[in-house]
Structures are given as structure tokens and as C-alpha cells.
């Protein structure tokens, strides 16, 4: 069949977005990997499916697949593109859009300046729910990697993140340590590995080696997880500018019991169609 899609990105974290409200298709993990290929396919970090809601109080359901074909629980940059997509396609005229994901509900708000604000829900810190193997919950954990101990934070935004603080993201060993942390045995469902440099209490720089993809130009849930990790260590203010290789996000977290709020852009690149 001919499948219509829109190519989009959030700060260079790029997506194939498919309207599954007015069309219907089932894609196997192998087909997703083929479509994600940047030479033989369309090329993307994640595939986003826009589906009708499963509950009457929600507007849509949001499914996310990494380039390796794995289905995952949450994608922050994708959520902003989701909002832009459903508004541009006139699938809704609402300014506040309620969306079901695999791990909870999120709310998307289209701002007057075109940015999108996402209520990402509360961070998940209970190791059992991340999941992360440890005998007790803590603000940081010592992770043994290649015979040395790394101090990390373990945070879930619906999807698992390890956050490592570094002095300088430009020289951080993302290529070397990212893959090792990402598949560490203490993260039974693997994880996204964030490398965070704290510039000042209101600004961090971040690079993320993403589960199922590798290093991306930006990671929305990674930005949220990094701010939560820095706040829990008493090193960051409530609202933080997170600068990633692809651009900057504004993240606000008032503390435990509050949701993480993320604001940033969403960009449409082109409309396409492909045979599947």
C-alpha cells in the first residue's frame, strides 16, 4: 500500500510521522528498520504513529518506535512534533491536546509563538519502575563500567535514562561510554545515556546516546531526566535551559510531586509517501 507520512524534527532529532487516524497499516520491526535506514530508506531516529484514542477523555494515542524497530514508552521531541502534526493536519483544533502513551498520559499545548509545551508527567525515581537494579533508591548510583566506577543518576520519563555529569560535553566519551552504559546489565530494558555539563544553576549542556538509535542531536526525555538529576543534587534551579547539539529546550521541574514541563520547537520538513 501507499503510506502517507510527514518528515519532522525537534532540534534535529528526526521523525517519520504517520497519521493512523485516516489510514491504517501494520509495520513489522524489520520494515521499521528498513524505513529508518538513512541510505536505503527514508531515514529517521524514531517513527511516530498518531492513532485514535483508546479512552473517551483523551484526544489521541501516541506510539513510538526507535530506528532499530523497538517500540518505546515516550519521546519528548516527538511529542512536540505530534502536536504540530495533528494541528497542521486539522485532526484537532484544540490548543490543549491530551495524548495517551505506553507509560501514561501527556498534555501538549501549542504556544502563540509556535513553540510547543509538553506536560511530561512526573519523573519516575523508584528503581523498580525505571527499571534499574539496585538494593535501595538513591540520588546517585555507582555503576561499574570497564573496571571503573561511574556515578550516575537513574531517572525514567516513561523511558529509562542514566545521567552522567561531566566537566565538558564536547570532550565527553559519548561514543565510548554511551554504548556500554546503554546496555548495562543493571538496566534490564537498556537505557538512554545522558552526558550533562552544568554551566550554571539555570543552564546545562547535554549529549545523549539514545537507546535503539545511538547519539542523536537532541533528546527531549533526556533533557527532562538530566534536569531532574541535577535538581535532586541541589545544583539546578526550577527552570533550566538545556542546550543540546541540535538546539535548546526550556525544562521546568518544581520538585517531587510535580510534572516536568518541556517547551521547544517542532519543525515540519516535507510531506511524503512510500510503498509498504
Give the 3-state secondary structure of residue 118. Answer: strand
Q: Does 14 bind ligand API (CB under 6 A)?
A: no
CA torsion angle 48 245 157 155 (round to 10): 150
The reply, when asked if residue 113 is annotated as ligand binding, is: no
Q: Does 66 bind ligand API (CB under 6 A)?
A: yes
The reply, when asked if residue 119 is annotated as ligand binding, is: no
- Strand 192-200 to 160-165 pairing: parallel
Cα angle vertex 97, ends 59, 104, to 5°?
Answer: 70
Pick 169 or 273: Cβ nearer ligand API: 169
Pick 42 or 201: Cβ nearer ligand API: 42
CA distance 27 to 19: 13
Q: Does 75 bind ligand API (CB under 6 A)?
A: yes
Q: Does 117 bind ligand API (CB under 6 A)?
A: no
Which range of residues in 28-36, 135-143, 174-182, 207-215 is near ligand API by CB under 6 A? 207-215
List the one residue from 159, 177, 261, 265 that touches ligand API (CB under 6 A). Answer: 159
CA distance 114 to 95: 11
The reply, when asked if residue 243 is annotated as ligand binding, is: no
The reply, when asked if residue 210 is annotated as ligand binding, is: yes
Pick 72 or 152: Cβ nearer ligand API: 72
53 vs 99, 102, 105, CA distance in Å?
7, 12, 11
**Number of neighbours of residue 228 by Cβ within 10 angstroms:** 26
Catalytic residue among 75, 81, 191, 224: 75
Q: Does 243 bind ligand API (CB under 6 A)?
A: no
Q: What are phi and psi of 235, to 5 degrees?
A: -110, -5
Query: Looking at residue 29, what DSSP letter applies?
Result: H
Q: Is 75 noted as a catalytic residue in this protein?
A: yes
Q: Would you tell me which residues interact with ligand API (CB under 6 A)?
A: 13, 45-46, 66, 72, 75-78, 159, 192, 210-213, 219-221
Catalytic amino acids?
75, 219
Query: Which parts are annotated binding residues?
Result: 13, 46, 66, 76-77, 159, 192, 210-211, 220-221
Amino acid at each position: 500500500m501507499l503510506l502517507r507520512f510527514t518528515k519532522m524534527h525537534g532540534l534535529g532529532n528526526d521523525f517519520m510521522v504517520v497519521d493512523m487516524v485516516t489510514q491504517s497499516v501494520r509495520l513489522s520491526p524489520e520494515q521499521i528498520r528498513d524505513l529508518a535506514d538513512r541510505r536505503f530508506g527514508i531515514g529517521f531516529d524514531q517513527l511516530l504513529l498518531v492513532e485514535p484514542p483508546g479512552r473517551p477523555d483523551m484526544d489521541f494515542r501516541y506510539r513510538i518506535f526507535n530506528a532499530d524497530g523497538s517500540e518505546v514508552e515516550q519521546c519528548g521531541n516527538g511529542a512536540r512534533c505530534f502536536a504540530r502534526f495533528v494541528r497542521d493536519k486539522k485532526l484537532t483544533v484544540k490548543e490543549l491536546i491530551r495524548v495517551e502513551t505506553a507509560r501514561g498520559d501527556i498534555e501538549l499545548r501549542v504556544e502563540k509563538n509556535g513553540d510547543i509545551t509538553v506536560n511530561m508527567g512526573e519523573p519516575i525515581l523508584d528503581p523498580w519502575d525505571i527499571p534499574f537494579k539496585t538494593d535501595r533508591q538513591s540520588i546517585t548510583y555507582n555503576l561499574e563500567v570497564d573496571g571503573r566506577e561511574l556515578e550516575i543518576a537513574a531517572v525514567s520519563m516513561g523511558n529509562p535514562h542514566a545521567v552522567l555529569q561531566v566537566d565538558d560535553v564536547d570532550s565527553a566519551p559519548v561514543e565510548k561510554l554511551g554504548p556500554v552504559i546503554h546496555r548495562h546489565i543493571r538496566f534490564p530494558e537498556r537505557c538512554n545515556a545522558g552526558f550533562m555539563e552544568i554551566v550554571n544553576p539555570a543552564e546545562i549542556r547535554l549529549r545523549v546516546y539514545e537507546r535503539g538509535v545511538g547519539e542523536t542531536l537532541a533528546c527531549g526525555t533526556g533533557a527532562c531526566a538530566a534536569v531532574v538529576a541535577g535538581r535532586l543534587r541541589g545544583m539546578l534551579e526550577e527552570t533550566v535551559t538545556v542546550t543540546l547539539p541540535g538546539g535548546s529546550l526550556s525544562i521546568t521541574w518544581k520538585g517531587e510531586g510535580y510534572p516536568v514541563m518541556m517547551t521547544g520547537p517542532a519543525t515540519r520538513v516535507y510531506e511524503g509517501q512510500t510503498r509498504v
